[in-house]
Structure 1
Amino acid sequence: MTSPQVLRDLVRCSRPTSIVDVGASPIDGDPPYREMLHYGLCTVTGFEPLQRPLTQLQERKGPLERYLPLVVGDGREHQLKITKAERMTSLLSPDLNQLRLFNALPDWASVVEEADVHTHRLDDLDIDDFDLLKIDVRGAELMVFQHGRQRLREAVAVHTAASFVPLYVGQPTFGEVDAELRAQGFVPHSMPQVQQWAIAPTVFDDDVWTPGNQVLEADIVYIRDIAHPERMTSEQLSHLAMIAFHIYGSVDLAVFCLIELQQRGRAAEDAVTQLMQLFE
């Protein structure tokens, strides 16, 4: 048995972990669940409305992936603001007052095209229940969460982009996103990436990517509140363990889930020992 398969067998998942990726563009590199996908431990349903990144996803996808050209939102009609730098495309309009504070961002966020789009509520999508929601939709995350409360009841983790500076008009900031996810039973677990930027006109090392101290945004992972494991099914605990271990390297969280599964008779008495042997 290879190490990637050890935990799967220890937690006795009845199916591969299911991941939904809203805003699945590969522009920022490989997704955090790449290893799970490589070893056949998860399935992925992604949503990406822009044609170029969608084509890239379609061309390289494997048998456990599917990608759809839908815009996830509140179920209403909107205008998609397509920007010079595709990574900044949003349902919201760029806020020039905020953007001008930071080098390069006003140019990157300049709108080159507006497209009328019909958005789809997460609750209304024809998809199976999922365990992890990964989302980066440039300011529309709260909209997706508010119109996905029913589907998110079964999820055990949310990997979301959150902004500390609203770069778009009316963009909800971290506090509002945090309040919504907490109300849905999630709590922050880790912060895999924090984006800092230099305040204009200062540029360090002649490189706009060299950060200053101003925090702009971050990727934050929320998990189902483990202070109340009795509220989770054994299947949910199993997939939380898989996500924690394989995607985020959270060995401690995986061990917590294994111990809870042991107490329920859903994992072998030496399950934790077997898992920790991977690190010897």
Structure 2
Amino acid sequence: MTLDAPKIAATEAARVLIDLLALDRLISVVDIGASRIGDPPPYRPLLASGIARLTGFEPQAEELAKLCAAGQPNETYLPYAVGDGAEHTLHVCAASGMTSLLRPDPETLALFHEFPRWGQVVETRRIATRRLDEIEEVDRIDYLKIDVQGSELPIFENGRDKLRPTMAIHTEVSFVPLYLEQPPFGEIDRALRSWGFIPHAYASLNRRAIFPVIIDNDPYRGLNQLLEADIVYVRDFRRPERLDDEQLKFLAAIAYCCYGSYDLAIHALLLLAKRDAVAGNGVEAFVAAIRKAAAAP
């Protein structure tokens, strides 16, 4: 049984789940590096269903203006650069998606088609950063999405208080760092595991062919070399005694509505049913709705 995540918000199963959960408050979603490049953000179904509020951070003025112009109710966008609280140099690159507080590594970029052009630094400027724990506009984080081109780890380290109740983190990681002094995947993974998270899913996986090889005359087509990925980490559900009812409800909503992970959602619901926090027959109704949605053309 499979179901594509982008279609989930409109399914009967999502509506059944939301009714079953009967959330007492909106899920607090935070997006650090919120510029819209590529696919819609994974939390979009939560916002569309009216069960979440979003606080997005985007220090690039042009990208921030786009976000604000397209913003919907329950969406707030702020111009802060989130980091360790110190002042840093922002490296503005030819491709806005590569702009970073870290300097691109030209030797590594040269190994992959198009990256030397995308990663060309066209401007530098000093920029103040704010520690996540000290940002007053964010009272708590239930679900974090972060894409900051190599600066993820300092943000995590300076946001540990706000991340204590967090149930899911969607983060970009690099197997081959494209920036100087960028922590690779292993360091991100070790840190998040030490704070009580475990990997749940690859939201995307970016493979590239190593220069000068081009596959089928397509410079964007990869072969085997792992470059980057978006990985979803969730709070370690193997220790349910450490999770309260609200956290389990949020986990179920995020798992299903954002990623189509009905197995994790059902696991959370069964735990809630044992606590009499949701109706047992409601779990059965959710499973039936999933089966119906999966069978639909």
TM over 0.5: yes
TM (normalized to structure 2)?
0.92
**Equivalent residue number for residue 102 of structure 2:** 92
1:110 paired to 2:120: yes
Determine the C-alpha separation between the residues in 1 that align with 2:198 and 2:146.
16
Q: Structure 1 residues 2 and 252, CA, compared in 2 at 3 Å: closer, same or farther?
A: closer
Question: Contact 2:139/2:162 (CA < 8 Å) preserved in 1?
Answer: no
Pairwise mapping of residues 130-145 of structure 1 onto structure 2 (< 5 A)? 130-145=141-156
Determine the C-alpha separation between the residues in 1 that align with 2:201 and 2:12.
27
Question: For structure 1, which runs of at least 5 residues remain unmatched after alignment?
Answer: none
Q: CA deviation at 1:2?
A: 5.4
**Equivalent residue number for residue 15 of structure 2:** 5
Deviations along 1:37-95, whole A, 9 cap, x unmatched? 11212111000111121111111110110100110000000001000000001000011
RMSD of Structure 2 on Structure 1 (CA): 1.2
Determine the C-alpha separation between the residues in 1 that align with 2:45 and 2:273.
26
Determine the C-alpha separation between the residues in 2 that align with 1:139 and 1:101.
18
Pairwise mapping of residues 47-196 of structure 1 onto structure 2 (< 5 A)? 47-126=57-136, 127-196=138-207
Letter in 1 for 2:43: Y
Letter in 1 for 2:98: M
Determine the C-alpha separation between the residues in 1 that align with 2:196 and 2:168.
10
**Equivalent residue number for residue 268 of structure 1:** 279
- State the identity as a percent: 46
1:235 paired to 2:235: no
Q: CA deviation at 1:11?
A: 1.9
Q: CA deviation at 1:271?
A: 2.2
**Equivalent residue number for residue 269 of structure 2:** 258
Report how many residues are paired: 280
Deviations along 1:180-209, whole A, 9 cap, x unmatched? 000110000000100011111111222221
Question: Contact 2:113/2:220 (CA < 8 Å) preserved in 1?
Answer: no
TM (normalized to structure 1)?
0.97
Q: CA deviation at 1:3?
A: 4.3
Question: Contact 1:17/1:242 (CA < 8 Å) preserved in 2?
Answer: no
Q: CA deviation at 1:115?
A: 1.4
- Find 2:260's aligned residue among 240, 244, 249: 249
3-state SS of the aligned residue for 2:100?
A: coil
3-state SS of the aligned residue for 2:271?
A: helix
3-state SS of the aligned residue for 1:106?
A: helix
Determine the C-alpha separation between the residues in 2 that align with 1:272 and 1:233.
18
**Equivalent residue number for residue 222 of structure 1:** 233
Determine the C-alpha separation between the residues in 2 that align with 1:228 and 1:146.
23
Determine the C-alpha separation between the residues in 1 that align with 2:270 and 2:50.
25
Question: Contact 1:258/1:271 (CA < 8 Å) preserved in 2?
Answer: no
